[in-house]
A and B are shown apart, each in its own frame.
Chain A
Amino acid sequence: MASGWWLELVRVGALPPSVMVDLREDLASLLHSEVQISASVLDPDPALDLERRQYLATELLERLLDPPPAPGARRIAVAAVDLFLPVFTHVFGTAQLDGQVGVASLFRLRPEFSGAPQDAGRLRGRLLKEVLHELGHTFGLVHCRLPWCVMAASRLPEHIDLKDSHFCGACAPHLAPSCATEVIS
């Protein structure tokens, strides 16, 4: 690969394939690294907690590592189900810090989840930023203090809207060098 790493997107369960296509297109235009959609689909059911009716995010990460990604590859799963971590009510996504896999869900990113009208464009933008955010964690990036950086912590979906779809100048160099300048806005 030209940039030394590439991204593999994995569809989780019943997520519409069109979401993956749009996401791949958005990511490819920003990253200038190869972005592939995996042919296989990850079954979320083994991660289902029947009592909470939510899916354990760390369990999905475990499953994403089987088989392990090739060296240099990043693998991000995209789900439509509600994710959680033990002790937390929910998470938008999670990733291995300085690892290779991550998962993001659009379940709580949908504007109608917080009572707003449906908005496909806004949802697409939020999902793109959430995937970039989890991708950043796989490169060892922690939350950024600049509120407009895509690595800023987002506790609410509305916070994601306030961020750019870019890494700030401090975060970008932590990604593979060949893509860093491409990613800076």
Chain B
Amino acid sequence: MTEIVPQLLIVDDELHVRESLSHWFAEDGYEVMTAEGGKEALALLGRRSFDVVITDIKMPGMDGLELQRRILEVDPDLAIIVITAYASVSTAVQALKEGAYDYLAKPFDPEDLTRVVEKAYEKLRLRKENILLKERLAATGPKLVLGDNPKMQELMGLVESVATTETTVLIRGESGTGKELVARLIHSRSPRAFGPMVAVNCGALPEGILESELFGHEKGAFTGAAAMRKGKLELADGGTLFLDEIGELSPKVQVELLRVLEDKKIVRLGGNQEIPVDFRVVCATNRDLEDAVRVGSFREDLFYRINVFELRIPPLRERPGDILPIAEHYIRSFSTAMGRQVTGFSEKAESLLKSYSWPGNVRELANAIERALVVCRGTAIEPEHLPISGHDRPQREAEDGDQLSLSAIEHRHIERVLESTEFNVSQSARILGIDRVTLYNKMRKYGIER
């Protein structure tokens, strides 16, 4: 591999200084160019790039400070080291205030100059590497498929803005709208992107198990705790903690979580040692937390602690323009994964996709496309491949719904989804955004049988 040679520009009106410095750095393997004044230096900088500029301050015509200003206007990342025989604290401070990397007074110890230039180059190299890695990460990281919906465009703008901060974020939206994807987007664009992203579904586990999942436990903390285990809060150290379905937390865990968020310390179950943790918190819920606070099932202090910056993801039915771009994204994605040649939709299938209400949002749409690809034998998806029907159009559903109770609507909707999946309970549960056990319970409750 070819070693990258640092590019150095030396600017000084005195020939012997230019020669001394260029000779010195040439011996160090730098590629050195010299200029006898600011004007010549700017001309050189216009033609090619440099990593470090060493400039004298006192020069006829354009002085070093003016040169520095002009350079930094164009390339704020360039490392500039100023040197002068007219050493004065005020000049040094002025140069440093205006963005110089460092300052040396002539004559200087060769070791000092080499160290300063090496450090400046290393800093620049690391900055460039950091930018490159972030770009690569952004290119390979999670992506939100967008159409032309202004609400979604605004949401992406807010995600970009909040991602670079340490602010706690609360993501709200119906089931299946992509709350975890937004959380991953925030993490991938944050300064913690190289740290872990730890996701916890607070609604999926009973209180005791969730406590152990979050806080970890010491060996022997309870029956079956054969070894020490770190919890999710500890594992998120240096990264982002994503608490999904935060509204499902029990009152006890709410108190414990609030304490952690306040103190940034945890104690493992069965332990007594406080362990400092450093993570950024992103929460998500599809519940009306304000209402939960009003009825007392969610602590007000925890609500205000997590609801610092709110992001609302609109349901798919409110952004019909996004349906086709998202569907096409999943066609590409699943076609590649399944080795299929499906490239798009027939006109009728497109119109069906657009007319359906998508109560399960993007998750339901993704599942529908996956199912369609399994059964499609041609290159275009037809209406019969899609596990939805025109009966589910929102307008008609709203008309029918006016005459029905909430549980009747739930009953009917579960039946429809089950029919559309040919009674595949796992797939239906995914579409409905609930777990299989809950779906079985509801099927029993409504007497739904195959």
Q: Do these two chains really belong together in a complex? A: yes
A positions within 8 Å CB-CB of B = 52, 58, 84-91, 94, 97, 137, 142-143, 153, 155-156
Residues of B within 8 A of A84 (CB): 107
Residues of B within 8 A of A91 (CB): 110
Residues of A within 8 A of B29 (CB): 142-143
A137 in complex: contacting residue of B27, B110, B113, CB < 8 Å = B27
Chain B nearest CB: distance from A51 CB in Å?
11
Chain B nearest CB: distance from A156 CB in Å?
7
B127 at the interface (CB under 8 A from A): no
Residues of B within 8 A of A58 (CB): 16, 19-20, 23
B24 at the interface (CB under 8 A from A): yes
Question: What separation, in Å, do the CA atoms of A91 and B107 have in the docked complex?
Answer: 12
Residues of A within 8 A of B27 (CB): 97, 137, 142-143, 153
Contact indicator A87/B23 (Cβ below 8 Å) = no
Residues of B within 8 A of A153 (CB): 27-28, 114
Residues of A within 8 A of B14 (CB): 86
Question: What separation, in Å, do the CA atoms of A97 and B28 have in the docked complex?
Answer: 11
Instruction: Give the residues from 14 to 35 in chain B that come closer than 8 angstroms, CB to CB, to chain A.
Output: 14, 16-17, 19-21, 23-24, 26-29
Residues of A within 8 A of B26 (CB): 97, 142
**Chain B, interface size: which category?**
20 to 34
Contact indicator B20/A90 (Cβ below 8 Å) = no
Contact with A along B114-127 (1 / 0, CB 8 A): 10000000000000
B16 in complex: contacting residue of A86, A94, A137, CB < 8 Å = A86
A86 in complex: contacting residue of B17, B111, B114, CB < 8 Å = B17
Q: Which of the listed residues B24, B26, B107 has the most CB atoms from chain A within 10 Å of its own CB? A: B107
Contact indicator B114/A89 (Cβ below 8 Å) = no
B108 in complex: contacting residue of A87, A94, A155, CB < 8 Å = A87
Given contacts A94-B23, A97-B26, contact A87 B114 (CB under 8 A): no
Given contacts A97-B26, A143-B29, contact A156 B111 (CB under 8 A): yes
Closest residue of A by beta carbon distance from B85: A87
Contact indicator A88/B23 (Cβ below 8 Å) = no
Contact indicator A87/B20 (Cβ below 8 Å) = yes
B348 at the interface (CB under 8 A from A): no
Chain A contact residues: helix, strand, loop or mixed: loop
B246 at the interface (CB under 8 A from A): no
Contact indicator A155/B111 (Cβ below 8 Å) = yes
Chain A nearest CB: distance from B200 CB in Å?
47
Contact indicator B83/A87 (Cβ below 8 Å) = yes
A89 in complex: contacting residue of B17, B23, B107, CB < 8 Å = B107
Beyond A87-B108, A88-B109, A143-B28: 13 further Cβ-contacts under 8 Å?
A: A86-B20, A87-B17, A87-B107, A88-B20, A88-B24, A88-B108, A88-B110, A89-B108, A91-B110, A97-B27, A142-B26, A153-B114, A155-B114
Residues of B within 8 A of A89 (CB): 107-110
Chain A nearest CB: distance from B138 CB in Å?
33
Chain B nearest CB: distance from A38 CB in Å?
24
B23 in complex: contacting residue of A52, A85, A155, CB < 8 Å = A85
Q: Which of the listed residues A58, A90, A137, A143 has the most CB atoms from chain B within 10 Å of its own CB? A: A143
B305 at the interface (CB under 8 A from A): no
Question: What separation, in Å, do the CA atoms of A156 and B28 have in the docked complex?
Answer: 15
Chain B nearest CB: distance from A131 CB in Å?
15
Given contacts A58-B19, A97-B23, contact A88 B28 (CB under 8 A): no
Chain A nearest CB: distance from B281 CB in Å?
44
Closest residue of A by beta carbon distance from B113: A88
Residues of B within 8 A of A142 (CB): 26-29
Residues of A within 8 A of B70 (CB): none
Question: What separation, in Å, do the CA atoms of A89 and B20 have in the docked complex?
Answer: 12
Residues of A within 8 A of B110 (CB): 88-91, 155
Residues of B within 8 A of A52 (CB): 107
Q: Which of the listed residues A86, A87, A94 has the most CB atoms from chain B within 10 Å of its own CB? A: A87
Chain B nearest CB: distance from A181 CB in Å?
24
B39 at the interface (CB under 8 A from A): no
Residues of A within 8 A of B111 (CB): 155-156
B128 at the interface (CB under 8 A from A): no
Chain B nearest CB: distance from A43 CB in Å?
21
Question: What separation, in Å, do the CA atoms of A125 and B20 have in the docked complex?
Answer: 27
Q: List 13 A-B contacts (CB under 8 A).
A: A58-B16, A58-B20, A58-B23, A85-B23, A87-B83, A88-B110, A88-B113, A89-B108, A94-B23, A97-B26, A143-B28, A153-B27, A155-B110
Closest residue of A by beta carbon distance from B109: A89
Residues of A within 8 A of B113 (CB): 88
Closest residue of A by beta carbon distance from B28: A143
Chain B nearest CB: distance from A73 CB in Å?
21
Question: What separation, in Å, do the CA atoms of A155 and B14 have in the docked complex?
Answer: 25
Closest 10 CB pairs of A and B: A155-B111, A142-B29, A85-B20, A86-B16, A86-B20, A88-B110, A87-B106, A89-B109, A143-B28, A89-B107
Closest residue of A by beta carbon distance from B29: A142
Chain A nearest CB: distance from B39 CB in Å?
22
Closest residue of B by beta carbon distance from A56: B16
Question: What separation, in Å, do the CA atoms of A153 and B108 have in the docked complex?
Answer: 17
Contact with A along B21-60 (1 / 0, CB 8 A): 1011011110000000000000000000000000000000
Instruction: Give the residues from 402 to 450 in chain B that come closer than 8 angstroms, CB to CB, to chain A.
Output: none
Question: What separation, in Å, do the CA atoms of A90 and B108 have in the docked complex?
Answer: 8
Contact with A along B77-119 (1 / 0, CB 8 A): 0000001000000000000000000000011111101100000
Chain B nearest CB: distance from A101 CB in Å?
13
Chain A nearest CB: distance from B29 CB in Å?
4
Residues of A within 8 A of B20 (CB): 58, 85-88
Residues of B within 8 A of A87 (CB): 17, 20-21, 83, 106-108
